[in-house]
Structure 1
Amino acid sequence: MKPSIPKGTRDFLPGEVRRRNYIFDVIRRYFHRYGYQPIETPVMENLSTLTGKYGEEGDRLLFKVLNNGDFLGKADADDLKNKDSNAVLPQISKRGLRYDLTVPFARYVVMHQNDLAFPFKRYAIAPVWRADRPQKGRYNEFYQCDADVVGSDSLLYEAELTQLLDDVFAELGLRTVIRLNHRKILAGLAEIAGHADRMMDITIAIDKLDKIGEAGVEKELRERGVDEAAVGIIKQFLGATSLDSVAPLLQDSAVGRQGIAELQEVFATAGTLTNRLEFDVTLARGLNYYTGCIYEVEVDTEAHPGIQMGSIAGGGRYADLTGIFGGRDLSGVGISFGAERIYDVLEELSLFPADTSEDLEYLLLCLDDASLAHGFQLQRRMRRSGLHTDLYPTAAKLGKMMKYADQRNAPKVIIIGSREVESGQYTVKNMRTGEQEVVGF
């Protein structure tokens, strides 16, 4: 059998893992700096926890886990015979792989609310799974790096998360555009268009603008029952480029005006940033649970021409997610970094630091068995002194060992023979420059 892995998943070689860890380490450092605390949740959740939280498209992308044992044993025979998958599914699957880290966090907060101090600031760096069509920048299994605050309505947290996004991408050397919108502005749009009850239909369609274009959005709006007059009003909004230009269009909507006022406060509080901060009325983010400010971050193609990648971070405010699980109504706001896409962009732009390709400081190469025994003890002394050290496990030809040193990308090698064993002095060769120096350990 030829070995393979499922589509939409990836293996990572050691150098790739080190570069991924570099991304995680930068993000984690800023999470700590901003006062966020780490938590962990299971990779599986009950399907009742996950379904109905991500919108109609999100529910379709959930990976379901079959029940233990004879999962067909309790399935209805008629449903199986009729191939009624919608009826059979709840009979054979009660669990699913988590789709994101936010809904499990809301469940976590409700279950542990008596143990937490609110506002509660948490972060999590972990894999999630989505049954999407794999393509560049889109995988079935990928990591998210989330920071959330729950238990406060303060818009200071929206501004703080904006600064957090800015700091992380500045540290990574990646210029980005941080785009903001507000769900209340979208609700105001639906109200002005005469379809307040179709706000989610309008949002889902607008959220596809970058994929299907304006004509595609218009077509989908019509298919979702939005009349021609309303489509015309929505087109006006899609052409607005600033809060000032969209405000007159929402003057007759109280909820729309509130959304504009809140965004204006976030922009003013966030202050001066390294990256570009922009309002984008077309930003919709189709997840059902967002109720306030919404974020999306993309690579700044003016600073990095030629990069073709979707959003590399996103998030938003959710007012009542914990209430769904029977807890007290706690407002929250959070962001998520898309580690896989960030990795791909940094790789394409050669922005990883050179030392992320190294896992060693020294590699010891021994010329005979006596030197090998000495080298093994030297290796232990070096490790105890904090040096990242490894030893070629046999006394072999020098050319073979040097080839291995190149393959391991070892910065420095120490060649040990009888003279080094007797003197306790070792010649260290810098593999990058070819320079040598004699040292003692």
Structure 2
Amino acid sequence: MAQKPSIPKGTRDFSPSEVAKRNYIFDVVKKHFQTFGFQPIETPSFENSETLMGKYGEEGDRLIFKILNSGDYLAKVRDETYTAKNSTSLTSKISEKALRYDLTVPFARYVVMHQNEIDFPFKRYQIQPVWRADRPQKGRFREFFQCDADVVGSDSLLQEIELVQLYDAVFTDLKLTATTIKLNNRKILAGIAEVIGAKERLIDFTVALDKLDKIGVAGITKEMLDKGISEAAIEKAKPLFSLSGTNTEQLQVLGELLKDSEEGTKGVAELTFIITAVEKLGLQSANLTIDVTLARGLNYYTGAIFEVGAPSGVQMGSIGGGGRYDDLTGIFGLKDVSGVGISFGLDRIYLVLEELQLFPEAIDQALVVLCVNFGEKEAFTALQLVTNLRKNGVKADVYPSSAKMQKQMKYANKRNVPYVILIGEQEVSDGTFVVKNMQKGDQQTYKLANVSDFLDAL
């Protein structure tokens, strides 16, 4: 017996209905990307390993899918490499390429390679799949799409303001009102690490801090201690773990705390500018709030950090995130090109829309009209009608065989077809067609010569 097929954990097949819903999200996001002046690009699904490795921190590097070299990839590996059993050194010998982990680092590589063709500031959007060797769970997959919008070549904070507006516009259009856009600044985190005496442990501090909502104060305290951050430093930082109040009140507390840190003070000033401007411009439905524990553990962020949470009551992680990276292209040799970008988590947005029943009712209606097949002569007349309907943008089809009427109507019901057309021998003779409204149950007869009458009634 043939073995039952399967797919890798963390990947999925998508039904026609699911694809239609995903495309709906894509279309909404893409529409607003274009409205805000972003241009599309695409990059390869895999990159040279050296392009990706070392760009996401130690945890990120472990989640990158490596691709084995083609051919006899073990032939050039020395015996001592096997004996050492060092996965890092062995991997570099047998794998030179890897699936992309996100779209930002490949974008930085793209900017460097095409810098002479790009008009700066360059506003790009990219909607493509990425891969991570993560532990699959609800809302977390090993293969998933990212929808990114980035601006490179400008350090103006107006870009951050626009990205907040972009989040607000997209989620309002998707009917995901009352989403929360969390905002922090990497300079503030650096300032905090400085004033508590843990400056040299900034990365360890931020990676642990970013997990506060997942493992709690006790969890991140243990992780910080394990990473060598002193108990005294953690105690100094603890009041920030529960910082509350309005954005203005939190900024005042941060300003006082970080007054002796030049970098921290600059971060507070940047946050103040962004929040003040957004409050004056107003948002359609989103809430903008400071979250000083937000770190988004990636090493390349240098300024503002964004994260979007699902509406209250929905158990889901972040549905969007991003931030400012002042010198990401520097890792590829192009210095002093500042950038800022955000990403939309398509798969999580899908799950939220599904849970809240926010997809349009007719979104997966792939067929509006189905013509019943009564035989060869009748089917050809039906096909002529369907051809006309299709030219007018109507999703129409003819059942492929003259099966029993009951079977054809059952098919129409399963496909959720709103209109079934009947063209039998009498209708062919009369030059007419009968339209059955599947919802109401009534029927209407139209002339084949006047299809426009039916089109007007749709």
Question: Are the equivalent residues in 2 in contact too, given 1:67–1:92 (CA < 8 A)?
Answer: yes
Q: Which segment is superposed worse, 319-328 or 59-68?
A: 319-328
- What amino acid is the match of 1:300? P
Distance in 2 (CA, whole Å) between partners of 1:94 and 1:152 is 33
Distance in 2 (CA, whole Å) between partners of 1:112 and 1:258 is 32
Question: Are the equivalent residues in 2 in contact too, given 1:357–1:409 (CA < 8 A)?
Answer: no
Of residues 327, 331, 338, the one that matches 2:338 is 331
The aligned counterpart of 1:120 is 122
| Cα shift at 1:247 | 1.9
Of residues 365, 373, 389, the one that matches 1:382 is 389
The aligned counterpart of 1:87 is 89
| Cα shift at 1:144 | 0.5
- Please give the residue correspondences for 1:36-75 in structure 2 after superposition, counting only pairs within 5 Å: 36-75=38-77
The aligned counterpart of 1:14 is 16
The aligned counterpart of 2:201 is 198
Q: Which segment is superposed worse, 69-78 or 208-217?
A: 69-78
Distance in 2 (CA, whole Å) between partners of 1:204 and 1:422 is 76
Distance in 1 (CA, whole Å) between partners of 2:12 and 2:339 is 33
Q: Deviations over 1:130-182 (max 9, x none)?
A: 00000001000001100000000010010000000001001111131000000
* SS of residue matched to 2:125: strand
Q: Which segment is superposed worse, 321-330 or 59-68?
A: 321-330
- Does residue 276 in structure 1 map to residue 283 in structure 2? no
Question: Are the equivalent residues in 1 in contact too, given 2:109–2:332 (CA < 8 A)?
Answer: yes
The aligned counterpart of 2:243 is 240
* SS of residue matched to 2:340: strand
Q: Deviations over 1:293-337 (max 9, x none)?
A: 000001121xxx2x1100000000000001110123210000000
Question: Are the equivalent residues in 2 in contact too, given 1:50–1:98 (CA < 8 A)?
Answer: yes
Distance in 2 (CA, whole Å) between partners of 1:368 and 1:102 is 57
Distance in 1 (CA, whole Å) between partners of 2:436 and 2:147 is 40
Question: Are the equivalent residues in 2 in contact too, given 1:26–1:172 (CA < 8 A)?
Answer: yes
* SS of residue matched to 1:142: strand
Distance in 2 (CA, whole Å) between partners of 1:100 and 1:432 is 46
Distance in 1 (CA, whole Å) between partners of 2:430 and 2:223 is 80
- Please give the residue correspondences for 1:141-180 in structure 2 after superposition, counting only pairs within 5 Å: 141-175=143-177, 176-180=179-183
- What amino acid is the match of 1:282? T
* SS of residue matched to 1:366: coil
The aligned counterpart of 1:131 is 133
- What amino acid is the match of 2:321? G
Question: Are the equivalent residues in 2 in contact too, given 1:80–1:88 (CA < 8 A)?
Answer: yes
- What amino acid is the match of 1:222? L
- What amino acid is the match of 1:323? G
Report percent identity of matched pairs.
57
The aligned counterpart of 2:265 is 257
Q: Which segment is superposed worse, 189-198 or 426-435?
A: 426-435
* SS of residue matched to 2:96: strand
| Cα shift at 1:396 | 1.6
Question: Are the equivalent residues in 2 in contact too, given 1:122–1:149 (CA < 8 A)?
Answer: yes
| Cα shift at 1:424 | 2.9
Distance in 2 (CA, whole Å) between partners of 1:218 and 1:81 is 38
Q: Deviations over 1:58-93 (max 9, x none)?
A: 001000000011111112222224432222100000
Distance in 1 (CA, whole Å) between partners of 2:445 and 2:271 is 63
| Cα shift at 1:430 | 2.1
| Cα shift at 1:239 | 2.2
- Does residue 300 in structure 1 map to residue 302 in structure 2? no
| Cα shift at 1:419 | 2.1
* SS of residue matched to 1:354: coil
What runs of 5+ residues in structure 1 fail to find an aligned partner? none
Question: Are the equivalent residues in 2 in contact too, given 1:118–1:150 (CA < 8 A)?
Answer: yes
Distance in 1 (CA, whole Å) between partners of 2:196 and 2:303 is 20
- What amino acid is the match of 1:337? F
Question: Are the equivalent residues in 2 in contact too, given 1:76–1:88 (CA < 8 A)?
Answer: no
Of residues 199, 207, 210, the one that matches 2:210 is 207
Question: Are the equivalent residues in 2 in contact too, given 1:365–1:414 (CA < 8 A)?
Answer: yes
- What amino acid is the match of 2:373? C
| Cα shift at 1:422 | 2.4
The aligned counterpart of 1:231 is 234
Question: Are the equivalent residues in 1 in contact too, given 2:423–2:432 (CA < 8 A)?
Answer: no
Distance in 2 (CA, whole Å) between partners of 1:83 and 1:375 is 69
Distance in 2 (CA, whole Å) between partners of 1:290 and 1:30 is 24
Distance in 2 (CA, whole Å) between partners of 1:424 and 1:260 is 76
Count of residues paired in the alignment: 437
Distance in 2 (CA, whole Å) between partners of 1:378 and 1:195 is 75
- Does residue 315 in structure 1 map to residue 349 in structure 2? no
Of residues 291, 308, 325, the one that matches 2:302 is 291
* SS of residue matched to 2:417: coil
Distance in 1 (CA, whole Å) between partners of 2:353 and 2:404 is 39
Q: Deviations over 1:89-120 (max 9, x none)?
A: 00000100000000000000000010010000
What runs of 5+ residues in structure 2 fail to find an aligned partner? 245-249, 452-458
Distance in 1 (CA, whole Å) between partners of 2:370 and 2:216 is 55
Question: Are the equivalent residues in 2 in contact too, given 1:299–1:309 (CA < 8 A)?
Answer: yes
- What amino acid is the match of 1:412? Y
Distance in 2 (CA, whole Å) between partners of 1:74 and 1:170 is 56
The aligned counterpart of 1:416 is 423
Q: Which segment is superposed worse, 245-254 or 35-44?
A: 245-254
Q: Which segment is superposed worse, 290-299 or 426-435?
A: 426-435
Q: Which segment is superposed worse, 78-87 or 26-35?
A: 78-87
Distance in 1 (CA, whole Å) between partners of 2:59 and 2:205 is 14
- Return the TM-score normalized by structure 2: 0.94
Question: Are the equivalent residues in 1 in contact too, given 2:101–2:130 (CA < 8 A)?
Answer: yes
